[in-house]
Amino acid sequence: MIKGEEVIAILEKIGDKIMEEKDYLTELDRPIGDNDHGINMARGFAEVKKKLPSMEGQDLGTIFKTVGMTLVSAVGGSSGPLYGTAFMKMGMSLAAKREMSFPEFLDAFKAGVEGVGQRGRSAAEEKTMLDAMIPALKAMEAAYGRTPDAGKALKEGAAAALAGAKHTKELIATKGRASYLGERGIGHQDPGATSFTYMIQTAAGHFQTRCEPEVKA
């Protein structure tokens, strides 16, 4: 079972990772977006990190809802509403729960992914964060179905997210500012898919019993 204190610890690490990769995420955003994804995400998670101490002892639903609301208010562009929606939908799924099984996490994450699709009116293969989120969800569901091991499932989810993020280089964007570029956007990796990949890589790393070389998204 995964308890609130462990979720808070993972969120702390995710915040550190996003801030560490701020410049790279912004570099990815420069040719196809507003040149600010890393800056915005770092600002948002800096605010999340400030609120983590106040989340101690809260139920999982409240923790995820607080993260979502913070990202909506602190992250500019489309990323704030989209990531905010993902976390708030997860919070709704986990309302009042003090701990969650991995299947419950998968259900919550599925709700978050669906929320992103609905909020952004987007689907797979449109060069968005969903191109990392959807493969991650499918990989984790399949892995856990074979062997009920949360660490292994997260690791496979992280690998699928990374592959999905890299696949966005081959796609033509149909949503957001990147869609204005048409075929000129081919060859550029989606920054949202990349920032999500960092999140799930961080969560997977938390569950690993030994350190492994990091693969840069």
pLDDT value, residue 103: 96
List the domains of the chain with CATH numbers.
2-207 (1.25.40.340)
pLDDT value, residue 151: 92
Reported as a single tens digit per residue, the pLDDT across 31-69 is 766 678 889 999 999 999 999 999 999 999 999 999 999
Closest CA to 19 of 41, 37, 34: 41
pLDDT value, residue 216: 54
Tell me whether residue 209 is exposed, middle or buried, using C-beta atoms within 10 angstroms of its C-beta: 0 to 12, 13 to 18, 19 or more. Answer: exposed
Query: Mean pLDDT, the chain, as a whole number?
Result: 89
Q: Percent of the chain at pLDDT above 90? A: 73
115 pLDDT exceeds 80?
yes
